[in-house]
Structure 1
Amino acid sequence: MKHLLRNMIGIFAVTLFVLLFYACEQDPQIKKYEYPMPEVSGISPSVGFVASQVVITGTNFGDRTEPVKIFFGGVQANKVLMCKNNRIAVEVPEGAVTGDVTMQIWTNDAGVIGKYQVLPTPVHISTTSENSLGSNIAEAGEKVTIKGQNFGDVKEDISVSFNGTPAVNFDLLDSETIKVEVPEGYASGSIIVTIHGYELVCGAMMNPAAKGDVTIFYLKNYKYPFKVHDFVGSQAGSGNEMGWFAIPTDWTVSDEIKCMVNKNASADDGKVGGTVKGYLGVQAGWGGNGSAKSITNGKIYQTITLPAGEYDLDISYFLGNVGDQQVYAVLAEGNTIPNPSEVDPKSNPNVKKVYKLEDYDSIGAKTVTWNFTLSEATELSLGFAVTVGDKKYFEVSEFKLTLK
């Protein structure tokens, strides 16, 4: 048994020696893989902005983005978007400056592969039309003025489109002003100014002849969460009801509606109202010290001018317990809405539509739809006429206006 064990150990030792010898003999034959030196044939464009895309063409780039390092004026790009053997796409990094573009792939330093001029990034300030219905409404052939900064001084470097429809006729008045003729047949939507490949969204324009959802062009602050004015002093209060009540922006809110005090707030800083927990709405009772227990002839409304046409107006309300109160959604001609006792269209010809809010406490919003037709451009006021007692409230989540 001892002889057998000794022989086995001997065989194992010989085998190990042979393997080590063979490995040592093979080491000199192992070669480290050498990546070929990348060769660059072009870089385009050579002028542009931070965050613009640049394409580098050539050979021996490989097909992985991780080993690619590209520098613009010494600042490394952190977004190599694509790498194929003959093409690299890269985004010009924040902080890039005009100067040499250099590249390294793996350990191969290609050095300077071109130059790139970094232009000041364009900025949009305002877009206005000359249409009498509003500065964001334009018919074909009308003029629209786009104001901003860093548009440059070469018209040929710029293109303008209205929701995808190119504007053929426009003038670059200076580096801050573009005047453009509205193209035929454009669809309502964003205006895009493209400068050296950089797309700048310059507001939106509505084609009054186009059909569909036109809410954004006529109504302001029209859906949850409704924007509100900043609180004054301690109006916000504290605790779980901090900011429960507030005053909505872009809506006319009567003093009768501004009757609530948030928890732990001070009525001395002025009462608030018009929004409840982010919804457009009204509440009487339950508030902090100094809150009103009732509201008489309160109003919240917004005044707009609509061109001739047929419309649907959807009003979605989320919660409410005012079915036994005088609370009306109202659409009336003119720059205000009537009191709750004056909303009957039979006796008040200015009232085009009226709806008495019902009690509603369910999953999802209840939507009321009005259909109406205007034979000419008309000034209208949309809102709520309110007379309610203690512990009454309603909350509206959204308005939607559709041109049919």
Structure 2
Amino acid sequence: MKHLLRNMIGIFAVTLFVLLFYACEQDPQIKKYEYPMPEVSGMSPNIGYVSSQVVITGTNFGDRTEPVKVFFGSVLATKVLMCKNNRIVVEVPDGAASGDVTMQIWTNDVGVIGQYKVLPTPYVHSVVSDNPLGTGVAEEDDVVTITGENFGTDVNDIEVSFNGTSAKEIRLVDESTIEAVTPRNWVSGNVVITIRGYAMTGNALFNPNAKGDVTSVYLKNYKQPFAKASEESWKNGEWWTPADWIQNAVSFNADGSTTVSGMQYKAAEGYTLAFQHGWNKKQYANGKMYQQVKLRPGTYRLEVTYAYTKVLDGNFVAAFIVKGTEENDIPDTDQVATLDGTKGVYASYKTSTVDGASGQLVTASFNLEGETDVLIGFLTTMNSGANSYFKITEVKLVLE
């Protein structure tokens, strides 16, 4: 019996040894993926500025931006904007210097793919017209002088547009001065100077012969995404003071962790100019938020786009254009109806129980015979009923 048991143990040991040996002799069936070596066929442009975009073309790039590393000298480009269809787009990083550009994708080190020359970044200091009505006015064939820095030496690298319409002629006086001749039928708005693809926005100019949207000429911070005056916020980072808008004490009325009006942020809505009561916000009357500007002669109207709104009966919201320079020139809620088109115009919101309402407030036309100081903004009273809120996504001033 003992002899049989020893034989069985011996057979089991031999069998186990054979199985282990066989297993060790076989290659494990694990597939190791090797990424193909990228091949670069081109890189352009090879000269430009920090924050300019560079396009790299070739094959075997893949379609993901994360594994792409492009170095300008020793500085890694932190913004790979696209990797698709054998085309990579990167932004020249801060600190980049002229020299070799190298690339790596996954573990494949491509090496030097080209050279890039970093130019001094251009800046615009001023945009002025030679029009006899003023430096901020420009009609067809006026000469607009643009001053700044690092404009270069080749006029062919420069583009100038007047609110989207290309200049009739461009002259490069020197590396700090450009002259542009205004085109026909251009619409009032910002002047944009582009040098080697690098765009800079100068100040806005007014074309007295063109009708339409003139908001950018007169107002600031007038549409989404609205800008903050500072990083100081209320209610856990939901409310801020908006840049460039003046608020009276009633309209602001910060109460500990909150405020009754200003600029609000919600993920589904973005940044809006907002007026609200409820949710522990104080009721208030005659809140005023506005900008003070000087309008040139003409007939104007104000168009205010609102959304995400619910204003219950007993509350009041209006948009206005009023002659004046100070808060006291804006009538209170119980006097706003006196704006008969001589001192100003307004459009009020029709209260509703609808939640999430959207639409426009449009004032009547307001004619100005001469250059006039005006206040443009909002008059609100929120002191009745349950939660109410009015939220603005865009303010537009139209020259008729």
1:151-300 alignment runs, 5 A limit:
151-155=151-155, 157-162=157-162, 163-175=164-176, 177-188=177-188, 191-195=191-195, 197-203=196-202, 205-208=204-207, 209-224=209-224, 226-230=226-230, 236=234, 241-263=235-257, 272-275=259-262, 277-278=264-265, 279-284=272-277, 286-287=279-280, 291=282, 293-295=283-285, 297-300=286-289
Task: State the alpha-carbon separation in 1 of the partners of residues 115 and 228 from structure 2.
Answer: 49
Letter in 2 for 1:255: A
Provide the residue aligned with 1:385 in structure 2. Answer: 379
1:395 aligns with: 390
Give, in angstroms, the shift of residue 52 of structure 1. 5.7
- CA shift, 1:360, in A, is 2.7
The Cα of 1:194 is off from its aligned counterpart by: 4.0
CA distance in 2 between partners of 1:251 and 1:217 (Å): 16
Change (3 A) 1:115 1:273: closer
Partner of 2:367: 374
> Deviation above 6 Å: which 4+ runs of structure 1?
42-46, 63-66, 69-84, 88-92, 100-103, 111-115, 131-136
Take 1:400 and 1:149, find their aligned partners in 2: how far apart are those partners? 33
Matched, 1:352 2:344: yes
- 1:372, distance to aligned residue in structure 2 (A): 1.0
**Structure 1 residues 205, 344: closer, same or farther in 2, change over 3 A?**
same
Indicate conservation of the 8 Å contact 2:193/2:202, yes or no. no
Question: Residues 313-328 of structure 1: matches in 2 within 5 Å?
Answer: 313-317=302-306, 318-321=309-312, 323-325=313-315, 327-328=317-318
Give the Å deviation of 1:355. 3.2
State how far apart, in whole Å, the 2-side matches of 1:320 and 1:151 are: 52
Structure 1 residue 333, shift from structure 2 partner: 1.8
Letter paired with 2:322:
A
Structure 1 residue 257: deviation in Å? 1.9
For residues 89 and 294 of structure 1, the distance between their equivalents in structure 2, rounded to whole angstroms, comes to 55
In structure 2, runs of 5+ residues without a counterpart are 1-38, 63-68, 104-110, 266-271
**Change in 2 beyond 3 A, CA 1:82/1:387:** closer
What SS does the corresponding residue of 1:222 show, helix, strand or coil? coil
**Contact 1:102–1:113 at 8 Å: present in 2 too?**
yes
* Structure 2 Cα separation of the partners of residues 178 and 80 of structure 1: 34
Q: Please give the alpha-carbon distance, in whole angstroms, between the structure 1 residues aligned to 2:295 and 2:220.
A: 14
| CA–CA distance in structure 2, aligned partners of residues 280 and 101 of structure 1 | 45
Residue 124 (structure 1) aligns with: 123
Q: Is the 8 A contact 2:287 2:381 kept in 1?
A: yes
Q: 2:16 matched to which residue of 1?
A: none
Q: For residues 122-177 of structure 1, what are the alpha-carbon distances to aligned partners after superposition, in whole Å with 9 as ceiling and x for unaligned?
A: 243444335799976533344544454432345565443332413424344444x4
- 2-structure distance, mates of 1:280, 1:74: 44
> Which whole-Å CA distance do the structure 2 matches of 1:286 and 1:100 have between them?
59
Higher mean alpha-carbon deviation, 140-149 vs 337-346, is at 140-149
Matched, 1:364 2:357: yes
Identity of aligned residues (%): 31
Per-residue CA shift, 1:256-314, capped at 9, x if unaligned? 22224254x7xxxxxx44326444344456536xx4x443x432222233334444422
Q: How far apart are the structure 2 equivalents of 1:329 and 1:228?
A: 21
Aligned partners of 1:327, 1:170: CA distance in 2, in Å? 50
Partner Cα distance (2:91, 2:226) in 1? 38
Aligned residue in 1 for 2:28: none
Q: Secondary structure at the match of 2:310?
A: strand
Alignment partners' CA distance in 2, 1:395 and 1:114? 55
Are the equivalent residues in 2 in contact too, given 1:328–1:355 (CA < 8 A)?
yes
Indicate the SS of the match to 1:229: strand
Is the 8 Å Cα contact of residues 188 and 204 (structure 1) preserved in structure 2? no
The letter of the residue matching 2:261 is G
CA distance in structure 1 between the partners assigned to 2:119 and 2:368 by the alignment: 50
Count residues with an aligned counterpart: 331
Structure 1 gaps, min length 5: 1-37, 104-110, 266-271
Q: Deviations over 1:171-197 (max 9, x none)?
A: 44444x4343433433456644343x3
> What one-letter code is carried by the residue in structure 2 that aligns with 1:166?
A
Deviations 1:15-43 (A, max 9, x none): xxxxxxxxxxxxxxxxxxxxxxx9x9x99
Which one of the candidate residues 319, 323, 331 is aligned to 2:321?
Answer: 331
SS at match of 2:374: strand
Output the CA distance in 2 between the equivalents of 1:80 and 1:244: 33
> Deviations for 1:65-108, whole angstroms, at most 9, x for unmatched residues?
67xx9997688998999999xxx9997954664457899xxxxx
| Compared CA separation, residues 80 and 251, structure 1 to 2 (3 A) | closer
CA distance in 2, matches of 1:74, 1:156: 31
Q: Which has the larger radius of gyration?
A: 1
CA RMSD after TM alignment? 4.9
| Distance in structure 1 (CA, Å) of the matches to 2:85 and 2:318 | 62
Given the superposition, is the C-alpha separation of residues 203 and 364 from structure 1 closer, same or farther in structure 2, using an over 3 Å criterion? farther
Relative to the length of structure 2, the TM-score reads 0.61
- On the 8 A contact 1:127/1:144 being kept in 2, the answer is no
Match of 1:13 in 2: none
TM-score (norm 1): 0.60
**Matched residue of 2:242: which SS?**
coil
